[in-house]
Amino acid sequence: MGSYCYRRYVSRLFQNSGKLNPKAKSERRDHESGFSCNSHKLMLYNDIIAQSHPGGFHILPLGLRSLEKLTRLVDEEMQAIGGLKISMTTLASDSLWKQSGRYTEAGAELFTLKDRHKHEYCLGPTHEELVTKLLASMPIISYKALPIKFYQISRKFRDEMAPKYGLLRGREFEMKDMYTFDRNEETALVTYSTVCQAYDRIFDRIGVKYIKVSGATGIIGGNLSHEYHYLADIGQDSILLCDRCGVRMNKELAVEDGSLPKTCQLPATKCELQEKKGIEVGHTFYLGTKYSSIFKATYKDQDGISAIDYNMGCFGLGMTRILQASLETLSTENSLRWPKLIAPHQIYIIPKKDGPRGDEYLANAEALSDALTQRPHLRGEVVIDDRMSLTIGRRNVDGDRLGYPYIVILGVKALESPAQFEVIDVNRGETTFMSTDQLMTFA
Ligand code: ATP
Ligand code: MG
Ligand code: MG
Ligand code: MG
C-alpha cells in the first residue's frame, strides 16, 4: 500500500550507514582534503548522491525523490503564470553560439564535441541561442499571442574551472530555465516581475530563508538582473547588504559597474553595509532584443505587417543546487534536515524490537502505514524501519540521520487500547503522544 520497508528499500540497496563508502576513494580524497562541505559529506554518507567523476554525480533514490518533488513544485508555479513546458536538445550547433558571439565569451567553460561528419556542437550550458532560434523558425505570430513563456527543466553542462561542493558546483547539473518573449520593453518588464513573483512563491514554499539581490549580467547579457541567494559560509558569492539604505547586491555587480555609491542613499558613515557569503540559487535577466535581433525572431505587430524583434527575458533556477543548498542551510553536523515539502519521505515508522510480541508490532506498523498512505498526499511517503532485531534507539538514530520530518515510534502504548504513538517532529525536536485519529489528521 505505497509504503517502503527499510530492509528492502534503503539498506539492501546501499550501505546507508551514515559513513563513507570505503570504495569511494575519490570522495574520500575530496572530503579529507577539506574540499568538501557538510551537505556534500552528508549526501555522500547517506547515499543521496554518489560521485561518478569530478563534478559529476549520480542521484540515488532518496535524492531523486526529493529532486522530483522540487520539480513538481517548480512546474506548478511556472505553469501558474502561463509557462509552457518544453524540452530542448542538449546539443547545440556551435554555429549558433558563434553567431551570438558567446562561443568565445564562454571560452573553456563550454563543452564541445564533433559528430562523425565533423560538425561541431556544444553541450548546452544555457539555452538562449537555441530557444530564440526555435522561435525564429516558427510561423510569425501576432502580438496578440504574447507573451510566450517557454521553460524546461534539464541537464546543463559547464566545464567549471573548479567543480566543488558536490551538486553546488557540478559540471553537469539540473537547471530550470524559462525564456519569455514580449511585445515591447514595457510588457517585458511586467513579465519580468511576474516571473520574479513566481520565484518568490517557489522560495517561500521551500521555506529556506533567501535573499533577492541585484545581480551581474555576466555573459548572458541584458541590463537588468536579480539573483536569489541562500546565505551560507561556504557561498561563493559576496553579497552586500544594508538594512538602513536597503542595498542588496552582488559585490560582482558593484565591481562591474561601480554602482554601489549610486545605489546607497546614505552618507558612508550612516550606511551599515555588511558583506555576507551567498549561494546563488536563482538568476533572472531582462534581455531586451539582444538575442532576437541576432536570430531574427520576430512577431507581427498591430498593422499585421511589421516584423518586430521580441523583447526577451530569461530566468534560471539551479534545481540540484537548491536541493543541496537547502540541506547545507538546514542540516546539523551529523544529520540531514530537509525542507518538509521536498523531503524524500515524510514519515519513518519504528516498531518495537522483536520480543514475544514482535510480529504484532510489525503488523501494527503495516496497518498504520496502510491507513496513512490511503491519504493521497501520503502515498509512498512512509518508510517502515523493519530491522526488527535492532532497538528503537538504534533505529531512531538512523531515522534522525536521514532527516525524515516525522518519526513515529510504536512502543508498548501502541498495542494498548486506545493505541498511542510517539511522534517526533524531527525539525522541531518535539515529541508528542498521539492516537491513530490524531496522527491521521496531523500528518
Ligand atoms: P555561478 O555564479 O555560481 O557560477 P552562474 O551565475 O554562472 O552561477 P547562471 O548562468 O546564472 O549561473 O545559471 C542559472 C542558475 O544555475 C544559477 O543561479 C545556479 O543556481 C545554477 N548553476 C549555475 N552553475 C551551476 C553549477 N556549476 N552547478 C550547479 N548549479 C549551477
Ligand atoms: Mg558560473
Ligand atoms: Mg553567478
Ligand atoms: Mg548567475
pLDDT at residue 425 in the model: 96
In angstroms, the CA 404 to CA 46 distance is: 12
Q: DSSP readout, 16-74?
A: -SSS--TT-HHHHHHHHTT---HHHHHHHHTTSEEEEETTEEEE-HHHHHHHHHHHHHH
At 17 the pLDDT is 55
Atom in ligand 1 nearest the alpha carbon of residue 283 = 18
CA of 280 to the centre of ligand 3 (A): 6
Residue 12's pLDDT is what? 45
Buried b (16+ CB within 10 A) or exposed e, 314-330: bbbbbbbbbbbbbbbbb
- pLDDT computed for residue 245 by the predictor: 82
- Give CA torsion, residues 132, 201, 345, 372, to 10 deg: -120
Tell me phi and psi for residue 196, to 5 degrees.
-60, -40
Q: β-strand 111-114 against 120-123: which pairing, if any?
A: antiparallel
Distance, in Å, from the CA atom of 408 to the CA atom of 351, rounded to the nearest integer, reads: 8
Q: Is 115 helix (H, G, I), strand (E, B) or coil?
A: coil
pLDDT at position 33 is 47
| pLDDT value for 297 | 98
* Contact of 242 with 272, CB cutoff 8 Å: yes
Q: Whose CA is nearest to atom 3 of ligand 1?
A: 280
Phi/psi at 302 (nearest 5 deg)? -50, -40
pLDDT digits (tens, 9 = 90+) for 13-30: 444 455 555 555 555 555
Residue 121 has a pLDDT of 98
ipTM score:
0.99
Cell numbers of 133, please?
A: 532560434
- Distance (Å, whole) CA 252 – CA 238: 7
Could you tell me which residues are beta bridge partners of residue 34?
A: none
CA of 215 to the centre of ligand 4 (A): 7
Ligand having the closest approach to the CA of 159:
1
Q: How far is the CA of 144 from the centre of ligand 3 (A)?
A: 35
Is any atom of ligand 1 closer than 6 Å to the C-beta of 323? no
Give the amino acid at 350.
Answer: I
pLDDT computed for residue 304 by the predictor: 87
Residue 57 CB: number of other CB atoms within 10 A?
A: 25
DSSP 320: H
The pTM of the whole model exceeds 0.90: yes
Q: Is 173 in the pocket of ligand 1 (CB under 6 A)?
A: yes
Q: Which ligand is nearest to the CA of 321?
A: 1
Query: Computed over its alpha carbons, how large is the radius of gyration of the chain?
Result: 25
Is the separation of the CB atoms in 169 and 160 below 8 Å?
Answer: yes
pLDDT tens per residue across all 443 residues of the chain: 556 777 666 654 444 455 555 555 555 555 444 558 999 999 998 989 999 999 999 999 999 999 999 999 999 999 999 999 999 999 999 999 999 999 999 999 999 999 999 999 999 999 999 999 999 999 999 999 999 999 999 999 999 999 999 999 999 999 999 999 999 999 999 999 999 999 999 999 999 999 999 987 776 666 799 999 999 999 999 999 988 888 899 998 877 766 665 756 667 667 788 999 999 999 999 999 999 999 999 999 999 888 999 999 999 999 999 999 999 999 999 999 999 999 999 999 999 987 778 789 999 999 999 999 999 999 999 999 999 989 999 999 999 999 999 999 999 998 888 889 999 999 999 999 999 889 988 87
Cα 250 to averaged position of ligand 3 atoms, centre (Å): 9
Q: Which ligand is nearest to the CA of 235?
A: 1
